[in-house]
Chain A
Amino acid sequence: MYRCDKCEKTWTHPLKACIFCGEELKNEVSEQFSVIGFTEVFIPSIKNETVPYYVFLLEDEHGNKCLKKSYQKFKIGDKFDYGSSNKDNTVFGVIGTGLLGMQICEYLITSGYVTVLKTRDPLAISTIQSKITARLQKSHTLESAKEILKLLVVTTSFSEIKSCDLIIEAVPEKFELKTEVFRELSKICDKKTIFSTNSSSLSISKLATFSDRPDKFIGIHFFNPVKRMDLVEVVVGEKTSEETTNRIVSLLTNLKKKPIIVKDSPGYIVNRLLLPQINEAIIMLEEGIASKEDIDTAVKLGLNHPMGPFQLADYIGLDICLSILEVLDKESTMIKNKPAALLYKMCEEGKLGIKTKEGFYKY
C-alpha cells in the first residue's frame, strides 16, 4: 500500500505523489496479515480450474487489506505470511539449464519460492540470468521482474545446492548423465533433501538405485510450456515412500499445478499414449495413406485434440520423440513401438522440428 499520511489516503498501485496535496507517497510494508474473512469457491474460472479453493481476506497491522487464494484452510484470526501461500519455506534446487530446466526455474521463482539453479558452465551464469529476466518481462514490469529474480541463485557448484528441500534434475534425457548427477548429490546433500527427476521416460526405480535415498526419490514430470500446462506426472518408484509422494503432491498443488500419480513404467501415462500415436501417424504418412495436413486435421477435428500429431511432434522435437519411442520399444513388452524409418531419417538430416526451423513443417 502507498500512503499519504497528511491526507490519510492509500493506493494499491506504486504511485509517486499524492494527487490531493502533492506530497510523496510512503510505501507501507506489511509485516504480517491476519485472516479476517474467507470463502470456499466451488465455481471454476480461467486459471482457477481446480475447485474448490479458498480466497482469504487478509488485513495487516495498518488496516490494509489484500486477498490470497489458497488450497489450504485457515480460520479467522490466523496469522498469514504474505508471499508464501502455504506457510512453507521450501527451497528448490534445479539442475540443468535446458528448455525445461529454465522454465521450471522461472515458474518456481514466479510462484515465490527461492530456487537454486545449478549449471556446469561458469560463463553461462550471466546469460542465464538475462534470459530469465527477459522471459519474466513478458508478463511483469521490469521492477517486479527484478523482485522475482532476487529469489534465484545461479551456481556452478554442487555445494550450494546441498541444503535444498527438493531438487529437480532436468539434464538431457541420457541415463548416464542423470545417474552421475544423483551420485554427486548423494555425496553432499542433507538427509532431508528429496531427489526428483523431470525425466520423461526413464525408469525412476533404476535411477533411484544410483542415489543414497530411494525412499526420497520421485519423478516430477512437468510439461512444456511449464507456465501453461497444469498437468504434472508424479512418478512413484518401487521404493518411493508415501510421505515423499504426499509432500510432492501438496507442493505441486500449492504451485497451482494438477498432479496425477503414476507407477514407474515406460513413458508413464502421457508419453505412453502419445508417442505410439505420433509414430502411427508417421507410418501412415510413409504408407501414403493421407497427407500430413489431413492427418493433423483429422486428429484435431475428429479427436478434438488442440494440435495434430505432426504439429505436436515438431513442437516436442523429433529427436526427443525418437528417444522416447526407443525407450518404449525397448522397455515395454505389451506394445510394439518400433520407431518409423522416416523419423530416423529426419533426425539424421537434422530436421528436428520448430527448434531447427524444419520438421514435418517449415517454420
Chain B
Amino acid sequence: MYIIGAGRTKFGKLENSLEELAYEAISKSISDSELSIHDIDAIYVANFLGGPLNGQLHLNAMISSLIPGCHLPIIRVETACASSSSALNQAIIALNKFSNILVVGVEKLTGSFLIPPIDAIAMAEDKTIDKDNGLIFPAAYALIAQRYFREYGGTHETLEKISFLNHSNANLNPLAHFYQKKVTMDMIRDSKMASTPLNLFDCSPLSDGAVAMIISNEKQSDRNVRILSSQIASDTISIVERKDITSFKATKIAARRAYEESNLKPTEIGIFEVHDCFTISELIALEDLGLCDKGNGKYLVENDMISINGEYPVNTDGGLKANGHPIGATGLAQIFEIVTQIRGEAGKRQLPDIESGLAQNIGGIGGTSGITILGCL
C-alpha cells in the first residue's frame, strides 16, 4: 500500500468555508499524484464537528457536490480528534475492493457557530460523567498532568519547553498556523492560566484546515511513500473509567501492533509526529510509544533528544500546538509531514535521510488512538 498523492491547505483562522477547504486539499492531492480525479474510485471523509459547530452533516454528499457527476461511494468517519487516521485505516482495508482511494480530513473551527467550540469539542468526552461535572477538554488534560507530576515527578518547565520546541519548528513550516509567530520562553511561562497546571501555551489552537491523501495498492512513482502499518485501538470514553490516567493504553496497544506489523523498533524510526493537543500529551506519548521508560519522558525533552536535530525528531511541522489542530484533518496532517520528510521535500525543516516515520493520533482523552507507520522501502 502506498500514499501516491498528498495535499493540504494552510492551517489557521481562515476565510475559507468547510467546502472550500476540502476542495483545495483534494485538488492539491490529485495534482500531486499521477492520477486525475476520474481515477479515484472511493472516498473517505473525516470530520469531527460539522454537525454541532457548522450545522452541516451528511458530509459524504457534501464531498460529492465538489466532484459533480462522479457518484462515488463516499463514507464519513468520525472518531473525534483521531477521525482522519481512522478514515485512512478504513480506506486501507477498502483497498481490497478499490484501486485508488482518496481520504480527506477537513475541519472548520473558526467563524460563526451553533454552540461555542469549547462545548462542541467536549462532545468527545462522556456527557454525563465528564462534561456535566465541568470537565472541559483542557481540564481533563490538566488532571492528567497533575497526576503525572505527582506520580513521576517533573514540573511545568518540561511542558514549557515542549511548547517552545513546537513553536520553533512551526517557524520553519510556511503552512503552519503559527508560522512566523515569535514565541519566547517568557511568553509561554507567563501566559494566561487555562486549567491548573496548564496555561494557554500548553493548549493547541482552534484551526481551520484540510488535508487529502490518495492511497493505492500499486506504486506509481518514486515519490510514493509506503504504508507499513495502520492500527487503531480504543479505550473507555472517560478517564474516570480507567485505573491509570498517566498513560494512554489505546496508544500503547496500537503502537505495539504497528511495531509488530512493520517489523520496526521505536528507536529505528526516523521521525515522530505525536498528538500534542496539550503539551502533557506529547510528554506521555514519548513514553507510550516506547522511546523511553515510564516517567523518563522529561529527560528526552530536557536533553534535546526530541528537538529537530535530536536523536528522535518529534513534530517537525510544529505539532498540534503550532502547526495547528483542525481536528478532523489533524491525523492526516501528521502523515502529510512524514510523507514530505521521506520525499525530501520539507524545505528548511528537511531532515537528512528519513526512511521511516510514525504518527500517533489521539481521539478524545485517549478513547481512540491511531498509529500509522510509513517508510520508503
**A interface residue numbers (CB < 8 A to B):** 10, 12, 36-48, 53, 55, 57, 63, 65-69, 76
Contacts and interface: CB of A to CB of B under 8 A. Distances in A.
When A and B form their complex, which 3 residue pairs have the shortest distance between CB atoms, in order from nearest? A69-B134, A39-B142, A65-B240
Contacts of A67: 129-130, 133-135, 240
B133 A68 contact: yes
A55 B238 contact: no
A271 B193 CA distance: 37
Interface in B94-130: 115-116, 118-119, 122, 126, 129-130
Interface of B: 115-116, 118-119, 122, 126, 129-130, 132-136, 138-139, 142-143, 146-147, 150, 192-198, 238-241, 243
A39 B240 CA distance: 15
6 contacts: A39-B142, A39-B143, A39-B146, A45-B134, A67-B130, A67-B240
B147 A37 contact: yes
A48 B137 CA distance: 13
B115 A57 contact: no
Contact of A39 (B116, B139, B150, B243): B139
Given A37-B143, A42-B195, 18 more contacts: A37-B147, A39-B142, A39-B143, A39-B197, A41-B138, A41-B194, A42-B194, A43-B138, A44-B118, A45-B134, A46-B115, A55-B133, A55-B139, A57-B239, A63-B243, A65-B239, A67-B129, A67-B240
B196 A39 contact: yes
B136 A43 contact: yes
B130 A41 contact: no
Contacts of B194: 41-43
Contact of A36 (B126, B130, B135, B147): B147
A76 B139 CA distance: 16
Contacts of A66: 129, 133, 240
Contacts, number: 81
Contacts of A46: 115-116, 119
Nearest to A10: B241
A39 B195 contact: yes
Given A40-B195, A67-B240, A69-B134, A55 B143 contact: yes
Contacts of B126: 12
B123 to A, nearest CB: 11
A220 to B, nearest CB: 24
A45 B143 contact: no
B119 A45 contact: yes
A41 B195 contact: yes
A39 B238 CA distance: 16
Among B138, B143, B150, B243, the most chain A Cβ lie within 10 Å of the Cβ of: B143
Given A55-B134, A66-B129, A45 B195 contact: no
Given A12-B129, A36-B147, A67-B130, A41 B139 contact: yes
Nearest to B115: A46
Contacts of B138: 41, 43
B143 A12 contact: no
B134 A42 contact: no
A45 B146 contact: no
Among A12, A37, A45, the most chain B Cβ lie within 10 Å of the Cβ of: A45
Nearest to B128: A12
B103 to A, nearest CB: 32
A45 B129 contact: no
Contacts of A45: 116, 118-119, 122, 134, 136
Contacts of B134: 41, 45, 48, 53, 55, 67, 69
B149 to A, nearest CB: 10
Nearest to A39: B142
A66 B118 CA distance: 22
A12 B133 CA distance: 15
Contacts of B129: 12, 66-67
Given A43-B194, A45-B118, A55 B147 contact: no
Given A36-B147, A69-B134, A43 B118 contact: yes
B133 to A, nearest CB: 4
A42 B240 contact: no
Contacts of B142: 39, 41
Contacts of B198: 39
A205 B343 CA distance: 81
Contacts of A36: 147
Nearest to A76: B150
A42 B136 CA distance: 10
Contacts of B143: 37-39, 55, 57
B240 A57 contact: yes
B205 to A, nearest CB: 14
B130 A40 contact: no
Contacts of B118: 43-45
A53 B136 CA distance: 12
A237 B194 CA distance: 39
B135 A12 contact: no
Contacts of B240: 12, 57, 65-67
Contacts of B136: 41, 43, 45, 48
A67 B241 CA distance: 11
B128 to A, nearest CB: 8
Contacts of B133: 55, 66-69
B241 A12 contact: yes
B34 to A, nearest CB: 47
Contacts of A63: 243
A10 B194 CA distance: 32
A12 to B, nearest CB: 6
A43 B122 CA distance: 13
A45 B117 CA distance: 9
B190 to A, nearest CB: 15
